[in-house]
Amino acid sequence: MSDADRIRAAVDTQRDECAAFLAELVRIPTVNPPGDRYEDCARLIGDRLTAFGYAVQYVRPRAPRDGPPRVNVFGRLQGQVARPTLHFNGHFDVVPAGDLAAWTHTPFGGEIADGRLWGRGTGDQKAGIAASIYAIEAIRRAGLALRGCVEQSATVDEESGGFAGVAELCDQGFISAGRTDHVIITEPLDVDRVCIGHRGVYWAEVTARGVTAHGSMPDLGRNAAQAMARLVTRIEHELGPKLEARITAMPVEPPAARHASISLNALHAGQPIDVEQTPMVPDLCVAIFDRRFIAEESSGDVRREFDAIVAQEAADDGDIRWSVRELMLVEPTATPADGPVAQALRSAIQAVLGRPAAIIASPGTYDQKHVVRRGGVADCVAYGPGRLETAHRPDEYVDLEDLANATQVMALAALALLG
Ligand SMILES: [Zn+2]
């Protein structure tokens, strides 16, 4: 019997156990915002890791934060030698269920029906956490031993930037070049796809300040909302086509997201809509722009280009005072498709599914940025069961067949990386 056959048999016999564990995870509504029930979910995962032989630690952010307590769980399974170390990371925060009427399954019921496990956070991404834990357990139950070490972390707040989660693990040394060789982030990119990285993000808040006046005599004021409308139009007409023409060589999925882009994400001016209105020319307008940039652009150029277009608007309209504030900057990141961790997963996908893996990149960012920038670990990809198209939507689910296959893939990849 080959190692691959032994792994397949072990994954098959623990199928129900793995699905039951996933259902337990889904029944804890770790909704972010605000960040509910993190402690309960971390304990459930920590207890399972302890039962499977890991040394477990709970990692909290060093600085106090508003809102419910943040807690991450980290486990280490000692191998025969200290290196290499393979780290699996998954986030257990989930987005809110949204409109309950749109669901046909209870969002936090963990129901199994039609070969699928249903609920908020199944794919994104509690299935990935269950798969990586049971992948390593399948190796043990198959009677195989790993030379290197496995570390697993389950973290919070990925949906809101990951600063109390993976960023903390990196800053506190749990994911670092000094101990970690390879990282697999178990996001739901689908059972046959390896995600090598993501595009960059620049969020800018633009404020226009004018002068208020009576709405019947607008010429006496300087209308900040109308000025912002002109800036929005300028950005759409002057910057938009330039960005659309910039195409990345990274295999971003969907292909429509392979060019740079900008989106007006928020716009506020005038009196609140739900109160009785008085005739006022708005003297303040604030807009938030979401600029996504490709690896071929530099963040410095992205900022300068944006500032320049606001400066042009200011030069054409001297009555308005403009300011730009940076809200977020994430650099693009990508690991080579033939790097060790990507290669191990590609071979494993071919062995388990009998077809070649697709190499993709993500249009939005995820925790890889922290692993690479803060942790200094470059050999990092995302791989996990579930489909992105079902994430954050009503009736989110994961196929149990995909869950079992991804578990096998992770186990074979771990064997290849750790010997
Ligand atoms: Zn996710």
Span 3-60, pLDDT tens digits = 999 999 999 999 999 999 999 999 999 999 999 999 999 999 999 999 999 999 999 9
**In whole angstroms, what is the distance from residue 251 CA to residue 18 CA?**
32
Task: Read off the tokens for 37.
Answer: 């029930």
Task: Read off the tokens for 175.
Answer: 């994911």
**In whole angstroms, what is the distance from residue 29 CA to residue 173 CA?**
29
Lowest mean pLDDT among 161-165, 244-248, 381-385: 161-165
Q: If you measure from the C-alpha of residue 356 to the centroid of ligand 1, how many angstroms do you get, rounded to a whole number?
A: 24
The single-letter code of the amino acid at 247 is I
Sheet of 261-269, strands arranged across: 261-269, 284-293, 200-209, 321-330
Which residues touch 256 (CB under 8 Å, ≥6 apart)? Answer: none
Residue pair 189/384 in contact (Cβ under 8 Å)? The answer is yes
Q: If you measure from the C-alpha of residue 112 to the centroid of ligand 1, how many angstroms do you get, rounded to a whole number?
A: 21
Q: What is the 8-class DSSP label of residue 347?
A: H
Q: If you measure from the C-alpha of residue 158 to the centroid of ligand 1, how many angstroms do you get, rounded to a whole number?
A: 7
3-state secondary structure (DSSP) of residue 360: strand
Q: If you measure from the C-alpha of residue 32 to the centroid of ligand 1, how many angstroms do you get, rounded to a whole number?
A: 12
Which residues touch 354 (CB under 8 Å, ≥6 apart)? Answer: none
Q: If you measure from the C-alpha of residue 313 to the centroid of ligand 1, how many angstroms do you get, rounded to a whole number?
A: 38
Q: DSSP alpha helices (H): ranges in 281-339?
A: 299-316
Answer yes or no: is pLDDT of 85 > 90. Answer: yes
H helix and E strand count, the chain: 11, 16
Q: Which domains does the chain have, with CATH numbers?
A: 3-198+332-418 (3.40.630.10), 200-330 (3.30.70.360)
* pLDDT value at residue 318: 84
The single-letter code of the amino acid at 402 is D
Q: If you measure from the C-alpha of residue 182 to the centroid of ligand 1, how many angstroms do you get, rounded to a whole number?
A: 19
Q: If you measure from the C-alpha of residue 6 to the centroid of ligand 1, how many angstroms do you get, rounded to a whole number?
A: 31
Q: If you measure from the C-alpha of residue 126 to the centroid of ligand 1, how many angstroms do you get, rounded to a whole number?
A: 9
Indicate the pTM of the whole model: 0.90
Dihedral angle sign, alpha carbons of residues 373, 60, 185, 107: negative
Q: If you measure from the C-alpha of residue 416 to the centroid of ligand 1, how many angstroms do you get, rounded to a whole number?
A: 26
Q: For residue 242, report the phi and psi dihedrals to the nearest 5 degrees.
A: -60, -45
Answer yes or no: is pLDDT of 64 > 90. Answer: no
